[in-house]
Amino acid sequence: MRSAEGGWGTPVPAKKSNTKMYLIVGGLMLVLLLGCGFIMTVLTNSDLPEATATATPTLESTPKPIAKPPAIGKAGAKVPEIAEGGHVIGEDAPPGTYRTRGARDELVPLCYWEVRPDGTPDGEIKTQGVIDGKNEQADVKLRKGDYFKTTGCERWVKR
């Protein structure tokens, strides 16, 4: 017999087959995949009844605190505000200068706004801004016909 070096002498040992290891690993992966599929099927089963909330009457009535009082202007009149979303100025809110107290969320303190002069959400952006802090303020002047979009900001209050 020839040796590994090409000469005659000691026989070359045969390579071990890894087939058994591949079968075990493949089998474990298959079991894991089937188990995950079963769990997802159970969790998303549409045959389960939906939970319904029912109100339970109570004898005690405690007033709920107001999260933030409405903005009040001169002589007790309510000051216009703009909430999150897209708004056409002149239809959804009156024209004027508005101020926000910054980002609404403390976890991700980002406030973004943009103004598009053509009154549509697809038009060219005239001005935009970002506030990356909770206690920063920003002012924006809005004219009739502007499209104003705000995301992640405290309410915009007319000044």
Same domain, 87 and 135: yes
Q: Percent of the chain, pLDDT > 70?
A: 55
pLDDT reported for residue 7:
56
Confirm whether 119 is domain-assigned.
yes
Above 50 in pLDDT, residue 65?
A: no
Query: For residue range 12-62, what is the model confidence (pLDDT) as tens digits?
Result: 565 666 777 777 766 666 666 666 555 555 455 545 445 444 444 444 444
Of residues 123, 9, 132, 63, the one with CA closest to residue 148: 123
Confirm whether 70 is domain-assigned.
no
Confirm whether 145 is domain-assigned.
yes
Above 80 in pLDDT, residue 99?
A: yes
Average pLDDT over residues 97-103: 94
- Domain holding 121, by residue range, is 75-158
In the chain, alpha helices (H): 19-43
Amino acid at 100: T
Domains in the chain, number: 2
